[in-house]
Chain A
Amino acid sequence: MGVSKRLKSWMGDVRVDDLRNRLTDLAEQSMDRHLRLAVTGLSQSGKTVFITALVHHLLHAHKSGSLPFFELAANGRVVGTRDLSAESSSPFPLRDAIEGLSQPSPHWPQSTRGLSEVRLAIRYRRAPGLRRVFGDSSTLFLDIIDYPGEWLLDLPMLEQSFEQWCESQRQLFMKEPRRTVAAGWLQKLQRIDWNSPRDDALLQELSREYSTLLQILRRDPHALSLLQPGRCVLPGDMEGSELLQLFPLVLPEPVSSEAPEGSLRWTLQQRYEQYRQQVIRPFYVRYFSRFDRQVVLVDCLKTLNRGEACFNDMKQALSAILQSFNYGRSGFLRRLFSPRIDRVLFASTKADHVTANQHHNLDRFLELIVQDAQRDMGFEGIDTRCMAIASVRATQAAQAHVDGQTLSCLRGLRKDTGEEVALFPGEIPTELPGSEDWTQDRFRFVDFAPHRLPSADLKSSHHIRLDQLLEYMTGDQFQ
């Protein structure tokens, strides 16, 4: 204890924690195989449902046959899976989520409000050729964390100074719909002399207004994603902290001069620094810097429903976020010392909201959203793929016979009203629609209530491509 305290006083808390994590990893990795799977997705993109379904299927993989494209399970090589999440200080609420989904009238899990961890131990029989050398069976530990998608938007701020952040926000607030929604607040900011001495009441009032603004922009009809700082949207355990009285200084022209000490501007600057150092950095170092593989969940249908502004905003948010991860080949030594992500899967979630013949188009549309990030990753030599998935199916494929013609359509219960509907939800475009094509009535992706997910005896019809995702993400790890 004493040593670590002294070290902390020399090097700063964060560094020591970082170092300690690295050492723990090192010890673990030399004994067992570990795989840290990053599940990245904006809010409401389907992270919690995805993790729940994945873990649920894995826990039954030794007997259920619900993962036919996951070679390990299809070959019957899974001995058993154990959920070790209880060891963590904040375990993932798996039981609640599964209970909600397996009720007679199943419902989706609540939106996540804090961070939680899952750890699975998957025990498997080795491939025939390796048994003689390494023994009959082995264990892979799979680590996943779940967190509110809002917090992800904090990661890009780690790289930005206060001035840079204000500038990027200024660009955003120059465009619709932010400009109109925020007009009143922006005018207020303009009227204030930011070099005048610190006034806590004023800052508090402005930050409260800013938070309200973020909430409005987050909701329908805008449904924007790039909302910073994330903790102002969803404070979690920081509710009421003074650090959250933070907002960007969005003025008509960027201010370049040095802020006088003790002034309003200076105060904001300080808070921003503190927010970065005390909130974002520990969060990043502890949970986000050490992934091996990454799944990026994207809700493409939301953007199609909401229109161009929503699309552009999501695209920008995703590229900003993805720049915060460590990409690069993980050679053996590199892997020991600083693990890097060497494989990324972009998944468009909720694929059950469209008919199966649109899945390929959904892949193509997803590529439009992530193409920049994908290009950069390709440059680093990282494997990427796009896939349309549904973690828990909510619809059933059906056919309508109209005028002697057969049309594929979907049948399911509406999430909001619970009434049964059948519809053809429209075609997914494979190119970016022109601005005049984003009309209200082109797409109709309604949210459905989930099908009941049984607590045992899972089938492959309970998900779409979860098994292929698993195979791509983890297949090469089971040797």
Chain B
Amino acid sequence: MSEQPRYQKAVWVDPSQLDTADKAAENSMSAQEFSLQQITDVVEEPPAAVTTQRLARRKGRWRRVFGVSLTATLIGAVGVELYRLLDWSYTLHPAAGSVVSVLLVVLALSGAVQGWLALKGLRQLRNVERLQTQARELLQHKGQGHAAGLLKSLQAHYKESAARQPLEDAILQLDSAYSDEEVVRFLSRHALTEQDLRARRCVQRYSVESGVLVALSPWASFDMLLVGWRNLRMLREIAAIYGVAPGAAAQWTLLKRVMHNLAFAGLSEVAIDAGSAALGSSLTASLSARAGQGLGAGLFTARTGLQAMRLCRPLPSESHDQNLIKSIAGGIVERLGKSRPID
């Protein structure tokens, strides 16, 4: 068999002679038969694990030195000051001293928790990004058996969240015959249904809310503040829905990315917006200028929300969200038509 390197031949292997036959089989991957005791069924565990390349993070060396020294200086200065405060308060009165030390302990603890949350959020956001790249690669891939890595990372991502159960269920339903591309499409379609639904509802609620708020608020100069405030809350919620811990740092990073994506929205999105504008014109004909501004603010919130969904969702989604935007616009106009303050 091994003299025929051009293709891999088929061979019947007598189970009792398997040991001798293996050698040839190993080189040529020919067809062979196995005894039933030799094999194990493949149920849901895909065989090979995929090796993901770590994104090499480049950082200027001097920049790091600067950062480290600056932090060290600041921490040192603050530490010395705090120590002096403590010292001083004890000399003042033991009671004052104990109050200050309790305060300091509380401060340190809450600071640590905050920092840990922020780091966790950032890590999870990076994780999502990595999952998305990995999933996109698999979507291009025609072969089979390389999705195990993605599955493991997904499971790890949802380790402590309520979304774990649907994910596990979906993974159990994966068929051994699916190619990598099909695995990703299946999971995207069936593992995140619940979260997609909640996230869409969240976007819808916040968009309508901010639209109506802007339309009804008497102080035009507060519009931006109002919208910004609602948007930030929405980002937090969406991130939480998709299993990203909503720390301030993660929220900030997310906001930056969302704004970046909105500013550089691709042609397709412009087309969608043109569509929603056309739809708006029939709806807005009867609206006052102020209500029109409200509609605009609502649609802006909706787009922000959809971008955030796209960024927080661990698997790329193919669905087009034109319907959501339409229904949001409809919702705002309906509310304004009734001209009733929001509840």
* Chains A and B bind each other: yes
Residues of A near B41 (CB, < 8 A) are: 396-399, 411
Interface residue A359 (Cβ < 8 Å from any Cβ of B): yes
User: How does the 8 Å CB contact mask read for B264-301 relative to A, with 1 for contact and 0 for none?
Assistant: 00000000000000000000000000000000000000
Beyond A357-B145, A460-B173, whether A409 also contacts B34 by CB under 8 A is yes
6 closest A-B pairs (Cβ-Cβ)? A426-B31, A426-B10, A397-B176, A397-B42, A423-B33, A398-B39
Interface residue A253 (Cβ < 8 Å from any Cβ of B): no
Interface residue B93 (Cβ < 8 Å from any Cβ of A): no
Interface residue B142 (Cβ < 8 Å from any Cβ of A): yes
What's the Cα separation between A140 and B173 when bound, in Å? 29
B30 touches A426 (CB 8 A): yes
What's the Cα separation between A397 and B31 when bound, in Å? 15
* Distance (whole angstroms) from the CB of B184 to the closest CB of chain A: 12
Interface residue A195 (Cβ < 8 Å from any Cβ of B): no
What's the Cα separation between A409 and B185 when bound, in Å? 25
Residues of B near A444 (CB, < 8 A) are: 10, 12, 31
Instruction: List 13 other contacts, CB 8 Å, given A407-B29, A422-B38, A441-B10.
Output: A69-B185, A69-B186, A69-B189, A360-B179, A390-B177, A402-B26, A403-B26, A407-B32, A411-B39, A422-B39, A423-B12, A425-B31, A441-B31
A443 touches B36 (CB 8 A): no
Interface residue A104 (Cβ < 8 Å from any Cβ of B): no
A424 touches B32 (CB 8 A): yes
Interface residue A96 (Cβ < 8 Å from any Cβ of B): no
User: How does the 8 Å CB contact mask read for B159-200 relative to A, with 1 for contact and 0 for none?
Assistant: 000000000000001011111001001100110000000000
Instruction: Report whether over half of chain A's contact residues are helix, strand or loop; otherwise say mixed.
Output: mixed
Count how many chain A residues have C-beta atoms less than 8 Å from C-beta atoms of the other chain: 47
* Distance (whole angstroms) from the CB of A246 to the closest CB of chain B: 41
Nearest residue (CB) in A for B180 is: A360
User: How does the 8 Å CB contact mask read for A114-133 relative to B, with 1 for contact and 0 for none?
Assistant: 00000000000000110000
A406 touches B177 (CB 8 A): no
Beyond A69-B186, A403-B22, A411-B36, whether A357 also contacts B7 by CB under 8 A is no
Which of A69, A405, A424, A439 is B26 in contact with, Cβ under 8 Å?
A: A405
What's the Cα separation between A390 and B175 when bound, in Å? 13
User: How does the 8 Å CB contact mask read for A4-47 relative to B, with 1 for contact and 0 for none?
Assistant: 00000000000000000000000000000000000000000000
B6 touches A437 (CB 8 A): yes
Nearest residue (CB) in A for B15 is: A422
Nearest residue (CB) in A for B170 is: A68
Interface residue A464 (Cβ < 8 Å from any Cβ of B): yes
A359 touches B144 (CB 8 A): yes
Interface residue A381 (Cβ < 8 Å from any Cβ of B): no
What's the Cα separation between A397 and B175 when bound, in Å? 10
User: How does the 8 Å CB contact mask read for B16-42 relative to A, with 1 for contact and 0 for none?
Assistant: 001000110110011111111011111
Interface residue A199 (Cβ < 8 Å from any Cβ of B): no
Interface residue A82 (Cβ < 8 Å from any Cβ of B): no
Nearest residue (CB) in A for B144 is: A357
A–B complex contacts, Cβ < 8 Å, 18 sampled: A128-B323, A356-B145, A360-B143, A398-B41, A401-B38, A402-B34, A403-B26, A409-B34, A411-B36, A411-B41, A422-B33, A423-B33, A424-B31, A425-B10, A427-B8, A437-B6, A442-B10, A465-B177
Residues of B near A129 (CB, < 8 A) are: 323, 326
Interface residue B257 (Cβ < 8 Å from any Cβ of A): no
Beyond A129-B323, A426-B31, whether A460 also contacts B175 by CB under 8 A is yes
B40 touches A442 (CB 8 A): no
Which of A390, A423, A426 is B9 in contact with, Cβ under 8 Å?
A: A426
